[in-house]
Amino acid sequence: MNISKNQVVSLHYTLTEDTKDGELLEETFSSDPLTFIFGTGMMLPGFEENIEGKSVGDNFAFTLSPEDAYGDYEDQAVVEIPISNFQDESGNVNRDKLMIGSPLTMQDQDGRSFHGVIIEPKIESIVVDFNHPMSGRTLHFVGEIIEVREASPSELDHGHVHFSGDDHD
């Protein structure tokens, strides 16, 4: 069976920066495979374009430029947020949660969520990088397709793969 829309795909991959010999960013060969429903927006479009039509046992190797992956790094996505935004009802700030490298989720006035990482805690503000961690990077994938099957109606309804015992019907 060849990979096409609404099929569950399981694959192992190694992700490096720039080329196959670049810095190792992720790999699944020593853990569970990546499993997703193809063609439903779960994966980068460029990733799906490069594995479409492949079948079990096929290998793949391809490179995605930043434009085809997570975009360019944007300096304007690094923002300084006043410390007052982190005060609790009593006006206190828990600085233990505002450390370099800590993840942070914030909402704008329209209720949209933004995920960032604290890069500099200051006395009167916190500097947060809202760029995707892989923005600005050229991504090189090498891997193997290990399973392709039709997604069940329940999986398509719920928008995710159901693993054994995870049917929630």
The pLDDT tens digits for 8-47 are 999 999 999 999 999 999 999 999 999 999 999 999 999 9
Distance between CA atoms of 166 and 169, rounded to whole angstroms? 9
Q: What is the pTM of this model?
A: 0.82
In this predicted structure, the answer to whether residue 71 has a pLDDT above a threshold of 60 is yes
Domains within the chain, CATH numbers bracketed: 7-70+136-158 (3.10.50.40), 75-129 (2.40.10)
Strand pairing of 113-121 and 103-107?
A: antiparallel
In this predicted structure, the answer to whether residue 89 has a pLDDT above a threshold of 60 is yes
Q: How confident is the model at residue 168 (pLDDT cuts 50, 70, 90)?
A: low
Distance between CA atoms of 49 and 143, rounded to whole angstroms? 15
Q: How confident is the model at residue 108 (pLDDT cuts 50, 70, 90)?
A: confident
The pLDDT tens digits for 127-144 are 999 999 999 999 999 999
In this predicted structure, the answer to whether residue 111 has a pLDDT above a threshold of 60 is yes
pLDDT for 68 equals 96
Q: How confident is the model at residue 165 (pLDDT cuts 50, 70, 90)?
A: low
pLDDT for 167 equals 52
pLDDT for 124 equals 95
